[in-house]
């Protein structure tokens, strides 16, 4: 058990590039949409770097290069915040209903606070001793007449628990009228996917 950090990452080259480029001497900001080249942004911005990150990571996670969108956030919590926000807004637009946020009790606490801040009902699902959401407990908690934002954890902070998405998606498959958006939580990477139809998981 412990906090899952990798101490052998080699980021010296990054810092050499960073100080050599002069970027360490200026303030840049990330406001605006990195994939909307028509928008007028504050000149000292991070948008080109954001685009490179999105273009590199998107295909690795199965997104279609010609049809993907994203932003780079400044922290794990902010990534979770935007993941929940985009998922909830997309579901609300499609169904006219406010979704319930499902997350395991072992996942990072930020999701619970963010659900509260976004005024969304939270279903906190019990986890097993390995820190994985328990599918039977999820089944008991499902609110059948409301859409679902589901936060899956890949490596919980203290136990490194990885939610069994296949088993959990199978639970949602029993409720075909529940529109589902899934988000994946991993240290400093949050991704949200929503199917285009009202039903099923992705
Ligand atoms: C899944 C997850 N979300 C959020 C955080 C919080 O990150 P930050 O302090 O960068 O907001 C962590 C930190 O470990 C995390 O593992």
Phi, psi dihedral angles at 151 (to 5 degrees): -100, 110
What is the structure's pLDDT at 159? 80
Is the CB of residue 94 below 6 angstroms from any atom belonging to ligand 1? Answer: no
- Give 133 Cα–ligand 1 centroid separation in angstroms: 18
Ligand 1 binding pocket includes 76 (Cβ within 6 Å): yes
* Blockwise average pLDDT, block size 10, the chain, 202 residues: 66 91 89 82 85 91 89 87 93 95 93 96 96 97 96 82 93 93 66 55 34
Give the right CATH number for 76-193 from 3.40.605.10, 3.40.640.10, 3.40.47.10, 3.20.20.140.
Answer: 3.40.640.10
> Furthest-apart CA pair in the chain: how many Å?
56
pTM of the predicted model, to two decimals? 0.84
Find out whether the beta carbon of 155 lies less than 6 Å from any atom of ligand 1: no
Q: Which of 164, 184, 169 is nearest to 108 (CA)?
A: 184
Q: Among 79, 155, 147, 89, which residue's Cα sits nearest to residue 118?
A: 89
3-state secondary structure of 133: strand
Q: How confident is the model at residue 96, as a pLDDT? A: 96
* Residue 44: both structure tokens together: 């000292």
Place of tokens 């990571």: 57
The per-residue pLDDT for 181 is: 85
* Cα separation, 101 vs 106, whole angstroms: 15
- Please tell me if the CB atom of residue 77 comes closer than 6 angstroms to any atom of ligand 1: yes
Contact predicate 180/195, CB 8 Å: yes
Helices (H), 3-160: 12-21, 47-60, 76-95, 110-117, 135-141
The SS3 of residue 71 is coil
Domain ranges of the chain: 12-60, 76-193
Q: What is the DSSP letter of 146?
A: S
Closest by Cα among 31, 120, 106, 16 to 74: 31
Extract the tokens encoding 167: 């088993």
């Amino acid at each position: 058990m412990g906090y899952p950090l990798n101490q052998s990452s080699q980021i010296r080259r990054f810092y050499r590039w960073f100080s050599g480029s002069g970027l360490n001497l200026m303030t840049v900001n990330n406001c605006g949409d990195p994939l909307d080249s028509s928008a007028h942004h504050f000149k000292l911005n991070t948008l080109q770097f954001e685009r490179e990150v999105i273009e590199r990571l998107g295909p690795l996670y199965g997104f279609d290069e010609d049809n993907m969108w994203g932003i780079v956030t400044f922290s794990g919590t902010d990534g979770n915040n935007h993941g929940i926000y985009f998922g909830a807004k997309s579901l609300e637009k499609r169904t006219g209903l406010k979704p319930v946020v499902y997350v395991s009790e072992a996942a990072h606490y930020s999701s619970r606070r963010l659900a509260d801040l976004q005024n969304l009902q939270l279903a906190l699902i019990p986890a097993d001793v390995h820190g994985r959401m328990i599918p039977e407990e999820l089944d008991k908690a499902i609110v059948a007449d409301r859409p679902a934002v589901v936060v899956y954890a890949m490596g919980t902070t203290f136990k490194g628990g990885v939610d069994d998405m296949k088993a959990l998606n199978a639970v949602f498959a029993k409720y075909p009228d529940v529109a589902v958006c899934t988000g994946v939580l991993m240290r400093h990477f949050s991704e949200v996917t929503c199917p285009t139809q009202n039903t099923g998981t992705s």
